Amino acid sequence: MKSQPKHYYPLFLNLTGQTALVLGGDVVAEAKVRPLLAAGANIRLVASQVSHSLAAMLEKADAEILTGKFVSTHLDGVQLAIDCGGAPSCSAALRRAAKARGVLLNCVDAETQADFISPATLTRGPLQVAISTGGAAPLFARNLRQMLDVLLPASLGAVLTAVGGFRAKVKAILPSGKRKAFWEAIFDHKTLETLQGLPENELESALEGHLSAAQKGAPADAIGTVTLIGAGPGHAELITLAGLKALQQADVVLYDALVDPAMIGYARRDAQLIPVGKRCGKQSASQGFINRTLANMAKQGKNIARLKCGDPFVFGRGGEEIEFLEAQSVPVVVVPGVTAASAAAADVKLSLTHRGVARRLTFMTGTTADALPDDKPDWQALLTGGTVAIYMAKKSLARTLADIQSAGFGAGLPAVWVANAGRPDKQIVHSTVGTLSADIAALHTEAPSLVLIGEAMATATGKNLLADAQGQVEQAAL
Ligand X SMILES: C[S@@+](CC[C@H](N)C(=O)[O-])C[C@H]1O[C@@H](n2cnc3c(N)ncnc32)[C@H](O)[C@@H]1O
Q: Which stretch binds ligand X (CB under 6 A): 70-78, 265-273, 304-312, 407-415?
A: 304-312
Question: Does 243 participate in binding ligand X (rule CB under 6 A)?
Answer: no
User: Which is nearer to ligand X, 116 or 313 (by Cβ)?
Assistant: 313
Nearest distance from C-beta of residue 436 to ligand X, angstroms: 15
Biggest alpha carbon–alpha carbon distance for the chain: 93
Residue 282 bears catalytic tag: no
Nearest distance from C-beta of residue 333 to ligand X, angstroms: 17
124: nearest Cα among 158, 92, 77, 164: 158
214: nearest Cα among 251, 176, 249: 176
Nearest distance from C-beta of residue 313 to ligand X, angstroms: 8
Alpha-carbon distance values, 119 to 20, 106, 116, 122, 275 (Å): 17, 11, 9, 10, 40
Q: Which stretch binds ligand X (CB under 6 A): 66-74, 156-164, 306-314, 467-475?
A: 306-314
CA-CA distance, 384 to 408, in Å (whole number)?
Answer: 10
Question: Going residue by residue from 77 to 116, which x/- string records binding to ligand X, judged by CB under 6 A?
Answer: ----------------------------------------
Q: Which of 448, 452, 458, 459 binds ligand X (CB under 6 A)?
A: 448
CA-CA distance, 238 to 262, in Å (whole number)?
Answer: 11
CA-CA distance, 141 to 151, in Å (whole number)?
Answer: 15
Quickly list DSSP for 437-468: HHHHHT----S-EEEEESGGGGSSSS--TTT-
Nearest distance from C-beta of residue 398 to ligand X, angstroms: 16
364: nearest Cα among 256, 458, 451, 281: 451
Question: Going residue by residue from 244 to 283, which x/- string records binding to ligand X, judged by CB under 6 A?
Answer: --------------x-------------------------
Question: Does 420 participate in binding ligand X (rule CB under 6 A)?
Answer: yes
415: nearest Cα among 472, 454, 450: 454
Alpha-carbon distance values, 461 to 2, 136, 345, 351 (Å): 46, 41, 12, 10
Q: Which stretch binds ligand X (CB under 6 A): 64-72, 157-165, 177-185, 311-319?
A: 311-319
Question: Does 427 participate in binding ligand X (rule CB under 6 A)?
Answer: no
Residue 109 bears catalytic tag: no
**Residues 372 to 411 in contact with ligand X, rule: CB under 6 A:** 391-392
Residues in the chain: 478
Question: Does 364 participate in binding ligand X (rule CB under 6 A)?
Answer: no
Question: Does 234 participate in binding ligand X (rule CB under 6 A)?
Answer: yes
Question: Does 314 participate in binding ligand X (rule CB under 6 A)?
Answer: yes
Out of 83, 256, 311, 347, the active site residue is: 256
Q: Which stretch binds ligand X (CB under 6 A): 114-122, 164-172, 202-210, 417-425?
A: 417-425
Give the contacts of 254 (CB within 8 A, at least 6 positions apart): 274, 276, 290, 293, 294, 304, 305, 306, 307
CA-CA distance, 135 to 138, in Å (whole number)?
Answer: 6
Q: Which of 30, 260, 311, 439 binds ligand X (CB under 6 A)?
A: 311
Q: Which stretch binds ligand X (CB under 6 A): 35-43, 74-82, 307-315, 353-361?
A: 307-315
Question: Does 316 participate in binding ligand X (rule CB under 6 A)?
Answer: yes
Q: At what angle do helices 176-186 and 203-216 cross, to 10 degrees?
A: 130
Out of 69, 178, 278, 299, the active site residue is: 278
CA-CA distance, 9 to 199, in Å (whole number)?
Answer: 38
# residues contacting ligand X (CB under 6 A) = 24
Q: Which of 255, 315, 379, 417 binds ligand X (CB under 6 A)?
A: 315
Binding site for ligand X (CB under 6 A): 233-234, 258, 309-311, 314-316, 339-340, 343-344, 391-392, 418-423, 448-450
Residues designated catalytic = 256, 278
